[in-house]
Structure 1
Amino acid sequence: MIKNYISKIFLAIEISRNFKTFLNLIINSKKYSGQFKKNIIDAGDLSSENYQMKISQKKIDILMRTYKGDINIFYEIFWKKVYAIPPDFVQNPLTIIDLGGHVGFTSIYYSLQYPNAKIFSVEASRENFNILQSNVRQFENIIPINKAIYPIDGEVLFDESGFSYNTKISNVGKPIESVSVNTLMKTYGFDNIDLMKIDIEGAESELLKTNTEWLEKTDTIIIELHNPYGLGDLEKDLEPFGFKIINPTEENNLQNILAVKNKI
């Protein structure tokens, strides 16, 4: 615990462009984690702070809500590096799809890692999307899309209650336009997906079973699974398209499940 806290402090020192940002990162991280542990946090509190950072030699202004869970996801992406992919599997992707774009952190991470890529960041939550737009406006290669990813085009109900990282398609919520991966490819004019990140709070169970022509044109997927959809389901859905599933281990340095074609 102490080791992790010290590591976070060093990261804050490294990426903060000024003392105010460093101080706000430390204080607001403690505010969030302290209230979260005591189960007294108000996820409806939209208080936010602008953080002036420098990551991978690029100056970035990042907007985060203190109590909505944004800070927690920021550390997952840039400290734990949960979506980092060893270069043996992905080297120079040109088209990246970020499904479950949240407030833009994964898209920004990949933009810094793969500056030649065009990144489509798809986020259904309107609240999250407003923050996402603000965060990615500094990146010309990130295209924000405010729609729910789904096997078919149309409309779905979307639940935005709770923490920002738990928003999801549900039987309750506000109606929002849905779009399929096939339609995304036609709309934006690309015929191959080099890398797709999927974190869509359980909707992967439908996405990977219906209207999956796009899987023929996808090379690499990194995915977070949500119960009841498990590893066996993922293998069953992806192996017919030539994917091999790679689980996270200490040896491969993965934090999420990777599915690759022609890489091993």
Structure 2
Amino acid sequence: MAWLTQKISLYADEMKFSARVPRSIRDKLCLMGSTVVFHIRNWLRIPADPTARLHMSISVEGYNTPVILRPHDSDISIFYEIFARRAYDIPAELLPPAAVRTIVDVGANTGLASLYFAARYPQATIFSVEPNPANFALLKENTAHEKRIVPIQVCLTAKADQQVYITNTGPSARFKMNTTGNGASVRGVNVAQLCMEHGVEHIDLLKVDIEGGEAQVFADASFLRRVSVVAAELHGTGGGGYNLSRFNEDLSRWGFRAWINENANDPSLVLAARR
């Protein structure tokens, strides 16, 4: 019964949040209704309608922004993860908001984390990196009003100038990358190449959520020389994969240490900085 109690508590928190953050009564009701429908569809395993859209305006930390979600997809879950459960709430003593100038958001999906960063770090330019064509199209829509956000459609890879392909048979946040020619073609770049192409000398915050690709990227993390803080989602925490221990092995060569972000309430979300 513990799992049921946890679920009920989670849903209650989502309802409270949806009653508070949207700016109009209409948007509050639409988000509440869409959230309920999303969970019911998940329970019943009803296929998503990829054309459905939820348009609303929200206010986060005094920052007002329009947001577009695909209410039948994973966008609803990601929205609550970022804005309600504050997955990327980084302690100010580690990353003082007024001092942050450059953020690289790798695995930006539809731009929700980038919008959160724009709200929290008012002086920052945010480079939003997303390879999935459908996600990237919505990313551009979600961030068009915010000139500090720079959308970039590439795939972060361990090596420079790789040709990769994207396939997606499930939720849009969980696509697969391959080099065998299966799916949509996307250019692959490594961190050094990305920085060179966009004139980035130093990264105050590097956020990485690349569906398991982090193991290859951090195997040679020489790019950390130009990074202050890393916020990453590890996709091997469930057992034997690329977990916190392995992540720390790769980071330690460059003087970094990683730990679970206690603010995020999710053991797969970690922070890293110089020791």
Using the size of structure 2 for normalisation, the TM-score is: 0.88
Aligned counterpart in structure 1 of residue 235 of structure 2, from 226, 230, 238: 226
Q: 2:64 corresponds to which letter in structure 1? A: K
Q: 1:233 corresponds to which letter in structure 2? A: R
Contact 2:19/2:29, CA 8 A, preserved across alignment: no
Query: Within 2, Cα distance between the matches of 1:248 and 1:81?
Result: 10
Structure 1 residue 109: Cα displacement = 0.5
Contact 1:49/1:65, CA 8 A, preserved across alignment: yes
Q: Number of aligned pairs? A: 258
Structure 2 residue aligned with 1:208: 218
Q: 2:235 corresponds to which letter in structure 1? A: H
1:165 equivalenced with 2:168 (yes/no): no
Contact 2:19/2:32, CA 8 A, preserved across alignment: no
> Which stretch of the first structure deviates more once superposed, 42-51 or 234-243?
42-51
Structure 1 residue 75: Cα displacement = 0.4
Contact 2:20/2:28, CA 8 A, preserved across alignment: no
Contact 1:32/1:41, CA 8 A, preserved across alignment: no
The alignment yields a C-alpha RMSD, in angstroms, of 1.7
1:240 equivalenced with 2:275 (yes/no): no
Q: Percent of aligned positions with the same letter in both sequences?
A: 28
Query: Within 1, Cα distance between the matches of 2:264 and 2:177?
Result: 31
Structure 1 residue 74: Cα displacement = 0.2
Task: Rate the CA distance shift 1:254–1:89 in 2: closer, same or farther, 3 A.
Answer: farther
1:123 equivalenced with 2:136 (yes/no): no
Show structure 2 runs of 5+ residues with no match. Answer: 1-6
Contact 2:88/2:264, CA 8 A, preserved across alignment: no
Structure 1 residue 61: Cα displacement = 1.4
Once the two structures are superposed, the pairs formed by residues 53-92 of structure 1 within 5 Å of their partners are: 53-91=58-96, 92=99
Q: 2:20 corresponds to which letter in structure 1? A: E
Structure 1 residue 178: Cα displacement = 1.1
> Which stretch of the first structure deviates more once superposed, 45-54 or 78-87?
45-54
> Which stretch of the first structure deviates more once superposed, 193-202 or 88-97?
88-97
Offset from partner CA, 1:53-109 (integer Å, 9 cap, x none):
222223321111111111110000000111111112111321111010000011110
Show structure 1 runs of 5+ residues with no match. Answer: none
Structure 1 residue 44: Cα displacement = 5.4
Contact 2:67/2:142, CA 8 A, preserved across alignment: yes
Structure 1 residue 9: Cα displacement = 2.4
Query: Within 2, Cα distance between the matches of 1:6 and 1:254?
Result: 16
Contact 1:86/1:253, CA 8 A, preserved across alignment: no
1:153 equivalenced with 2:158 (yes/no): no
Q: 2:67 corresponds to which letter in structure 1? A: I
Structure 1 residue aligned with 2:100: 93
1:133 equivalenced with 2:140 (yes/no): yes
Structure 1 residue aligned with 2:50: 45
